[in-house]
Structure 1
């Protein structure tokens, strides 16, 4: 089995061309990573997905945990075997759903047994409890369960459990949420270090909301952690493109030269062209496969 590694092949100031090596193959960067939420690219068979010139897909542990469920994925031996995809996979932790389903609760609720119930049942510094829109049952996400789910999924690269902060949150809320993310990161690292038979690479996620001081503090914290890659999260969540790019620019100076950097939820062509200059290696976006 190939070990995870990253090398820079060429640099132009902060921008770079590189290569990520994973157990399921190499990714030449910069690269766009289309979203395959449940380990399938909508509108394509696995054979077609393997034949088109994409190098990786982005799956989601929250959605996979709900359907088909971890027992089914485990029975197949992981998401690669279940889906028939033979290239590297990236996986999100469930942290984005703290934002997206919290926002949804303000507009609509899961309709369970003919009644409306909130999508997020419980939210503390220790865990998030979601309600399934399929059957009304609850599912708990915390650093331990998120790592366990993602180990079962078996994606080559996966995100530490974090809280995606909504655009225009107050400084107080963004500060508290960022501290949660940092605490959870340490717990994820400890959990991941106990068992990693598939050679998966853990990414730490920079948060901080729309506040430069919090973004810089988070970048300092995450880049010093024992993680294989860095992700920038909590962007493209309601702010303008100018504001999104500003948040990336704030942390560019702190991004490492020796580890890959992923920008979560951003991947339109103009964004990729503009943001590679800051040292971003991979991008994902739901638009092509929504």
Structure 2
């Protein structure tokens, strides 16, 4: 019995010497950490640096080829020559004036073509009668190459500004029509049923359900139309142009000035990039309610 008592006492002492588990801390004492998704975590190199690395590498390769003589100046002027030509054109005022004229043509043509395309798409998408009267004609006309219409446009509108703007309007109308029409017809049917259940009128259904649902497709169509607007602008400014970027390119082609031609091409690219950035900004503003995949 004595040995049993000694063993029990030793066991109690050992239990008392063991570290006791800490009591649960209340909510105020817990250190909070912000959990970030893997896609939002830093990856070392800033994204803006990764996006600019490609163009910078291309310009550097172009410069090396020009300096070493691999790319002769008669074939393509080097970056330094192009920069000096751009500076000269800016100082004389030729380049800013040409940019303003070309941008005005593109925006006016886009406004006309976009208005026509969106209006026809809304009529065709919302009403079956409109679809029967409009859609077949639009599907037929969109397969006709716009460049093939230049002779007719010259006959109809002359050789002034009208055929250039008409060519841009024709090119930009069809992408907007197709995307807005598809956006209206692809609105989730369950949303339509919910609108009917809560008693929305036809006008309220169109304004609050159908058109917001078609907005993502409409913005995609706008981006396509902007790209086609610049392409149509290049062809349009070959029609007896007396001003604009195409006019500068035509004159440079006559005198084999590859540096001026490259300047005009860069201006086309920068203007297209600027308007594309504008559309991306509109997407972020008007589609902030719509979750999207930002890339892995």
TM-score, L = length of structure 1: 0.25
Larger radius of gyration: 2
Greater relative contact order: 1 or 2 (C-alpha under 8 angstroms, separation 6 or more)? 2
TM-score, L = length of structure 2: 0.24
Which is richer in strand?
A: 1
Which is richer in helix?
A: 2
